[in-house]
Structure 1
């Protein structure tokens, strides 16, 4: 009998693995319990401790407030208004109607796969952390390095591009009111910088205030979106201008505007930049997971809810504009400098035009502030692992506000410097939008690709998961992004018409820094960057499962610098093993 008990105990030991060495680690299997004799862990802290981090933020975000920040960052109305030049200009109304639906299939697959990762690893590092944990042994630091920097580039360009769009709309509204006024580049630059500074101060507020401000901003965003969707078809004056109230469906859905020198199908794919950039804010709940209660359920739900809601209402907005636009060429070449304002002037009375612009400007202001919050959390998480020069400054949490204030202002300064692209013209500043689209989706999909093609069935899912559809959905997401990255780098003109003024500078502005980052890795960073670091002790069991109490174990294969620890014995282990929250869902 004793031999049998010893055999069972040995088998149990072999089944147990280090929390840090599992392919996915946030759902603690029996025995993998973070140990701290001086602190009673709540469920959220247990999950985060299993990932190797100590809770440092107040968890004052709920599912609703997390969704509010995410929806504010998504900012459907201002995002659509800011990217209308690409969505309408490349493929016309066909790209806006059925093109949006096609793009949303790929985007929704990315969102659901990301939500599954978030449920399993709810930490501010988000995709960067997931890439490191899921990567094959020895490749974790490199996967984290590429994912982290690409994600940061998408995040740091978000606020300046949104605020640029807001500034352009403000000045366009002034032009609508006074047709003799024409905005200049320096006026747009100064106004954008002013808005960036305001957002910097707002993003430095305590978490509770941020949650309340973003709840209000997101609520306004949603209400403004619904009002505009109703107001455009109800208030259009096309009939008084000698036109049908709505363009015939056959023309809206069947005519592809040739805004590029490429075949019609490629033009439709190129128009997806508007969809992708508009729909790239749903990762915010991942980065806010350490400030959200019940994070491994609430955060993934917020991701999927944001993407689904944005997809449906965004399509409605696309439809009302596609059915009411009069002259696409005039919209794209208007002296107002803002295509959305030019579109409104074609089919709406002046007062309604100004009212819609006002709603869009306020919604855009809320969106820009949400973008800056999300970017600061990403910067904090990466600085915590010494990714940046002077990381010790950017990873500090303000003692009074309990928020990463230094990271907020670091991103704000970088964003202001990027705004000098305004003086390079429309295509130059437009690179901010395409960079945001590519950088974000490369970061989104890298850990998804690793999870699908390298981890497979060894993936330990969180309480929110896709079950048997996980690999299929992840494969579709990976294929979609692999197709879109080169498409989004294509210029709209080719041959003799391709000049520096008409060139798509995305490949240079995104590819240049990423090439420098790769060179930095091989020259220096690979020697000192070891991926996500832990800052809390764990109870750790050996990968081979044959360790006994008192033996030491080494760090994980991703390269994280986890110090060897002795296995403590505590009756709390047995209590936590009985908790449903800490069991493997399979």
Structure 2
């Protein structure tokens, strides 16, 4: 056995770095595996990406046909600045007006960028499709890993599962608003919106079931269109607005734009501005996609974190430009919010644009929204696959299957689609009810994003092993700002816009119920059952305990040989538990 162990290290699981040998266990990752445990497979050689993934405990199951650019493309498509802004304008402009849209966006982006950079650091250290859920399990204090992974995973899944339905709902609303502009006799109904959104969901499900190479190419096209159309709209709005024909200046005075807080809520101005951040947070919640695509990306521990930061920074900058052009050209905020079109962005365009140009901009936004919805569905399917692989869902054995023809998790795609269509029934309960999907997406994302970041900052100490992309001495300050920002925003996002006697069921903010009820059930499930069988990320590669990595590097064969019996025990123990080292 000693000779077999040494041969396995020497011939299979070694790579040369600066003239020295190192085991797969020496990869710069924070792994769920115990110290010194090294992946072993006598039938294959590991390339650099496979070594990193194996050191995290997983065997390769996808083709790595994404790179930095194509991963960024998927992420930027999921971000979908133009359709996201159009869909959430009701909150961004409706709660605090142009003041919240201008300097409010800048304030919000400071916190969001800190979250993105801290997440990127975790991604470099743990580039697996489990993403934040895996990170929470690894970084949590001893004994708390499974619970941290359970909460993070389910919160992230709730965010992911609501993303495509909410995006496609916004796209459908814009399509029907365009029809209403073209034909004033037509008034969209809730049933029309539900059926059209369901139809778009089914189209995206078919598209998302395609092979990885096809997905990469499609999302590259979608992201290029998203970015190009965003630039076109940013140029078209100030160039084509017809405010002078209404007796108004071409652009509103800066003193009004930056200094006016619209009273869209009954709270003080500062709270109203914070409430308007839901638009920023929901719009900017797609930058985690590279984390979930890490197992399909080459050079993942560098390309994926770079894609996260690039997405957040690019989205933040150009999103602010879009906010500015709308803030300087809007005519009547109240009229835009209360329009019979049922879509504030369409009503805003109708205020300040000739009809043909308004329809053209809406059409461009709809195209961008279509590709955004498909990107959201791809990202959500990878999250569902990763969690099903670890047995989180009832029927996980079906949802974790990778289709042998497409090499993609097709079952997970259609599982998410079915749940998404059921969620869309909220459309029939009115605008406030379906609006909860946006708040759930924002809160679910932020709780999932910052749980491992919070653990990293306050509980980890030296247990975190930075990857090649890291923040260095800025890691703790950046994570602290991110954690504080989210702690402030979670209760703010649950506030209704009115208070006291004005607060009626149809004006209630149902986020607490739509997000809180499932999470309460998940906590009960944990207490009653899951804590007995859920042990966190389940490794699926064979392992042998080979002693300390330093001994392997220095060629201390005796040390490796002495631990061979521990290796056999580790394998047997891992097979029994279904997990190692949490």
Fold conserved between structures, TM > 0.5 = yes
Q: Is the 8 A contact 1:115 1:304 kept in 2?
A: yes
Measured in 2, the distance between the counterparts of 1:382 and 1:275 equals: 28
Residue 551 (structure 1) aligns with: 565
SS at match of 1:53: coil
Residue in structure 1 matched with residue 7 of structure 2 by the alignment: none
Match of 2:213 among 208, 212, 217: 208
Structure 1: 5+ residue runs without aligned partners? 1-15, 565-586
Sort the Cα spacing of 1:40 and 1:19 in 2 relative to 1 into closer, same or farther, 3 A: closer
Query: 5+ unaligned residues in a row in structure 2: which ranges?
Result: 1-21, 551-558
Pick from 139, 144, 147 the counterpart of residue 142 of structure 1: 147
Counterpart of 1:537 in structure 2 is: 542
Matching of residue 97 in structure 1 with residue 111 in structure 2: no
Superposition deviation, residue 457 in structure 1: 3.3
Q: How does 1:229-308 map to 2 (within 5 A)?
A: 229-308=234-313
Instruction: Map residues 21-40 of structure 1 onto 2, 5 A cutoff.
Output: 24-25=30-31, 33-40=38-45
CA drift of 1:35 comes to 2.2
- Structure 1 stretches of 4+ moved >6 Å: 20-23, 26-29, 543-547, 554-560
Deviations 1:59-96 (A, max 9, x none): 00010000000000000000000000000000000000
Offset at residue 17 of structure 1 (A)? 12
CA distance in 2, matches of 1:270, 1:523: 36
1:513 maps to which of 510, 518, 526:
518
The secondary structure found in structure 2 opposite 1:296 is helix
- Cα drift, residue 21 of structure 1: 13
1:128 is aligned to 2:133: yes
- Once residues 566 and 118 of structure 2 are traced to their aligned partners in structure 1, the CA distance between those partners, rounded to angstroms, is 35
Q: Note the alpha carbon deviations across 1:455-505, whole angstroms, 9 max, x for none.
A: 133311000000000000001000100110000000000000011011000
Aligned mates of 2:570, 2:89 — CA distance in 1: 49
Instruction: Report the TM-score when normalising by structure 2.
Output: 0.91
Q: Deviations over 1:92-134 (max 9, x none)?
A: 0000000000000000000000000000000000000000011
CA shift for structure 1 position 33: 4.4
Q: Is 1:470–2:475 an aligned residue pair? A: yes
> In 2, are the aligned partners of 1:26 and 1:462 still within 8 Å (CA)?
no
TM-score, with structure 1 as normaliser: 0.90
Q: Distance in 1 between matches of 2:454 and 2:548?
A: 24
Counterparts of 2:387 and 2:264, CA distance in 1: 40
In 1, distance between residues paired with 2:107 and 2:192?
38
**Other-structure match for 2:410:** 405
Residues 21/59 of structure 1: CA separation in 2 closer, same or farther (3 Å cut): closer
Encode CA deviations 1:251-300: one digit per residue, 9 max, x unaligned: 00001011111110000000000000000000000000000000000000
- For residues 236 and 265 of structure 2, the distance between their equivalents in structure 1, rounded to whole angstroms, comes to 31
| Structure 1 residues 391-430: aligned runs within 5 Å | 391-430=396-435
Take 1:409 and 1:474, find their aligned partners in 2: how far apart are those partners?
36
User: Counterparts of 1:309-458 in structure 2 under 5 Å?
Assistant: 309-458=314-463
Q: Counterparts of 2:29 and 2:225 in 1: how far apart (Å)?
A: 41
> In the alignment, what sits opposite 1:181?
186
CA distance in 2, matches of 1:349, 1:27: 62
Which whole-Å CA distance do the structure 2 matches of 1:381 and 1:283 have between them?
14
- Once the two structures are TM-superposed, the CA of residue 357 in structure 1 deviates from its matched residue by 0.3
The CA distance in 2 between the partners of 1:76 and 1:439, in whole Å, is: 19
Q: Residue 239 of structure 2: SS of its match in structure 1? A: helix
Q: What's the offset of the Cα at 1:34?
A: 2.5
Q: Distance in 2 between matches of 1:21 and 1:212?
A: 31
* C-alpha distance in structure 1 between counterparts of 2:99 and 2:32, whole Å: 44
Aligned pair in 2 of structure 1 residues 364, 539: CA closer, same or farther (>3 Å)? same
1:21-53 per-position Cα deviation (integer Å, ceiling 9, x unaligned): 999139999x76432221000000000000000
Distance across 1 between alignment mates of 2:296 and 2:34: 20
1:42 aligns with 2:54: no
Q: Deviation of residue 179 (structure 1)?
A: 1.2
Return the alpha-carbon distance in structure 2 between the equivalents of residues 100 and 28 of structure 1: 43
Structure 2 CA distance for partners of 1:504 and 1:36, relative to 1, 3 Å = same
Alignment map for 1:191-202 (pairs within 5 Å): 191-202=196-207
Residues 205 and 377 of structure 2 are in contact (CA less than 8 Å); yes or no, is this contact kept in structure 1?
yes
Q: 1:88 to 1:401 in 2, by over 3 A?
A: same
Q: Secondary structure at the match of 1:501?
A: helix
Q: Find the aligned partners of 1:220 and 1:189 in 2 and give their Cα distance.
A: 26
Aligned 8 A contact 1:28 1:50 in 2 = no
Equivalence for 1:574: none
Matching residue of 1:85: 90
Gap change, CA 1:194 and 1:368, over 3 Å in 2? same
The CA RMSD measured in Å over matched residues stands at 2.4
Q: Which residue of 2 aligns with 1:110?
A: 115
In the alignment, the residues of structure 2 paired with residue 27 and residue 449 of structure 1 have an alpha-carbon distance, to the nearest angstrom, of: 21
Secondary structure of 1:154's aligned partner: helix
Q: Structure 2: how far apart are the matches of 1:541 and 1:269?
A: 53
The corresponding residue for 1:460 is 465
Aligned counterpart, 1:572: none
The equivalent position to 2:73 in structure 1, one of 61, 68, 76, is: 68
- The size of the alignment, in residue pairs, is 548
Three-state SS of the structure 2 residue aligned to 1:72 is helix
> Matched residue of 2:512: which SS?
helix
Deviation sequence 1:513-561 (CA, Å, 0-9, x none) = 0000000000000001110001102343568999843231676999974
Q: What residue is the counterpart of 1:504 in the other structure?
A: 509
Take 1:267 and 1:555, find their aligned partners in 2: how far apart are those partners?
55
Alpha-carbon distance in structure 2 between the residues aligned to 1:151 and 1:400: 28
